[in-house]
């Protein structure tokens, strides 16, 4: 006959194993769900907008940069040109 102490230990081990299995399962399910949600969200975002440095963004940046340089250094260039440099 199995003693009461052995039965309690077996019951504790079984319940502990079941509890650990449930916790691990829920954690994995949560991780897989978050990965799936992030992939779905990134798929939607990639379809909606252009990458940060896409062709259109680069050309707009180049245009704004050239305009800012012209406005900043334009008077200096005019001055130097009038003096024959």
0.75 surpassed by pTM: no
> Which residue ranges of the chain lie beneath pLDDT 70?
1, 42-54
**Are 29 and 22 in contact, with CB atoms under 8 Å apart?**
no
What residues contact residue 56 under an 8 Å CB cut-off, 6+ apart?
50
Q: Give the per-residue pLDDT at 81.
A: 85
* 85 C-beta neighbours (distance < 10 Å), count: 7
Q: Give the per-residue pLDDT at 18.
A: 94
Q: Give the per-residue pLDDT at 23.
A: 93
């Amino acid at each position: 006959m199995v003693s009461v102490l052995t039965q309690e230990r077996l019951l504790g081990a079984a319940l502990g194993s079941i509890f650990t299995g449930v916790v691990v399962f829920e954690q994995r399910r949560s991780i897989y769900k978050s990965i799936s949600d992030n992939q779905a969200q990134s798929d939607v975002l990639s379809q909606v907008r252009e990458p940060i440095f896409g062709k259109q963004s680069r050309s707009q940046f180049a245009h704004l940069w050239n305009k800012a340089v012209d406005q900043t250094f334009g008077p200096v260039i005019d001055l130097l040109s009038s003096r024959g440099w």
